[in-house]
Amino acid sequence: MDGYYTIVIDAGHGGPDPGAIYGTRMEKDDNLKLALAVQKILQEQGQQVVMTRDTDIFIPLSERSAISNHNNADLFISIHRNSNQDPAASGIENYVHITASETDVLYAQKVIREVVNAGIQNNRGVIRANFAVLRYTLAPAMLLEMGFITNERDNQLFDQNFYAYAAAIARGIMNSLEGPSYLPPPYFFYTVENGDNMWEIAQRTGMAEDEIMSLNDLTSDSVTVRQVLQLQRS
């Protein structure tokens, strides 16, 4: 380790706001449990960790960002579980702000890559969004969706790989803070636009579709608007 960093971990929802619900399972509980596990690992490595909440309480979105800004955080990560009316929807995704810098995107990619290596059902990639905690946080910020609470297999993996996930998130955070914060040429990031598909992106860059999927640790060739892909210039 080069030194210690200030890392803010935000367990999404809390108190009267349960987040997504599936049977008796509530997102706020999964978020807090995982956030506390990541905190423990990082603190054992000598890092300064600030929690937006460490109990089942409600914290307004603006206050979550304010906590990070007040502590001059080096990195902010908000931990969530996803949900969908379609029980087949599955996988993890990591959000950055719509105006996020290359460094922010690279950090998000490093974290999601470690989680992928810990064992997941589907990697939905890094996606740009305008969530409040991303919009108002000054530090490099990400919102990590750790699988769909409405998907049985994602829940099984969350429980089965819980400690591996916590370690993976902590490792991704430290890889971000202690590694290069830029993409060496000829690599660059591309944000998917309306009408894009994997085949067209591959044609424009001279890469094969499976090369793009491998470079981004993707488990599907489908792409979504505002998804960020790491590509290689031909």
Residues recognised as catalytic: 145
Please tell me the distance from the alpha carbon of residue 146 to that of residue 91, in angstroms, as a whole number: 7
Please tell me the distance from the alpha carbon of residue 132 to that of residue 61, in angstroms, as a whole number: 7
Positive/negative CA dihedral, 154, 112, 43, 16: negative
C-alpha to C-alpha distances, 190 to 83, 130, 162, 174, 212, nearest whole angstrom: 26, 18, 31, 24, 11
- Tell the residue number behind the tokens 């290689």, with chain if given: 232
Q: Identity (one letter) of the amino acid at 208?
A: A
Residue 7 phi, psi dihedral angles, 5° rounding: -120, 125
Q: Do 171 and 114 touch, CB atoms closer than 8 A?
A: yes
Q: Do 221 and 213 touch, CB atoms closer than 8 A?
A: yes
